[in-house]
């Protein structure tokens, strides 16, 4: 069976803040919004706020895998997995489910994944918690690492663009 006759499963891959979600919506537009975007982050959304708790991350990943399994059993096309997927062990369950359900599997890396250095990312992670809390965008006690990474990457990208420096491509 050709890939055109099979439902598509996209596995997006990239660091937090690398615009995976933007890529997911771009892909979804190509399919006229007929499929579904599944993100482990959705588990942490409560009344419009992200309430990330690192201790719940394994539970959140299992929840997202269960949603993906159900979507595949229903033959939804396309299914877009919007997670970091930086290690094979994170992608393997989705790949296996896709193969079991005869999906054509497409791996896409977010374009901004490698635009800043580790040092810039680390710097970026330092003060995001204060910004988010003062803006009322997160609830007290939230584990900030996820948000910090996203803000730092964008800040480093903006600095590079402002300085007319080429971005790092690895």
What are the angstrom distances between the C-alpha of 32 and each of 35, 36, 78, 79, 83? 8, 11, 10, 13, 22
pTM value is 0.68
- Cis peptide leading into residue 131 (ω within 30°): no
Whether the per-residue pLDDT at 93 is higher than 90: the answer is: yes
Contact in structure between 8 and 76 (CB atoms under 8 Å): no
Q: How does pLDDT run across 9-23, given as a tens digit for each residue? A: 999 998 877 888 889
Which H/E stretch holds residue 46? strand 45-46
Q: Between 162 and 6, name the one with better pLDDT.
A: 6
Whether the per-residue pLDDT at 105 is higher than 90: the answer is: yes
Question: Percentage of the chain with pLDDT > 90?
Answer: 42
Q: What is the pLDDT of residue 87?
A: 85
Average pLDDT over the chain reads 79
Q: Model confidence at 110, in pLDDT bands (50, 70, 90)?
A: confident
Whether the per-residue pLDDT at 170 is higher than 50: the answer is: no
Least confident of 16-20, 75-79, 123-127: 123-127
Q: Model confidence at 142, in pLDDT bands (50, 70, 90)?
A: low
Nearest to 104 by CA among 9, 25, 26: 9
Structural domains in the chain, CATH included, are 3-109 (3.40.50.300), 118-162 (no CATH)
């Amino acid at each position: 069976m050709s890939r055109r006759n099979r439902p598509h499963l996209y596995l997006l891959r990239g660091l937090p803040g690398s615009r995976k979600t933007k890529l997911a919506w771009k892909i979804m537009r190509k399919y006229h919004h007929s499929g579904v975007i599944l993100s482990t982050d959705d588990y942490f959304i409560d009344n419009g706020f992200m309430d990330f708790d690192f201790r719940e991350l394994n539970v959140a990943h299992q929840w997202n895998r269960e949603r993906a399994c159900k979507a595949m059993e229903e033959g939804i096309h396309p299914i877009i997995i919007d997670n970091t997927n930086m290690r094979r062990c994170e992608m393997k369950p989705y790949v296996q489910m896709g193969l079991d359900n005869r999906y054509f599997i497409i791996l896409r890396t977010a374009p901004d994944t490698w635009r800043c250095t580790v040092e810039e990312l680390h710097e970026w992670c330092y003060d995001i918690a204060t910004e988010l809390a003062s803006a009322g965008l997160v609830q007290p006690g939230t584990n900030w690492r996820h948000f910090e990474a996203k803000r730092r990457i964008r800040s480093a990208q903006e600095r590079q663009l402002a300085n007319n420096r080429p971005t790092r491509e690895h």
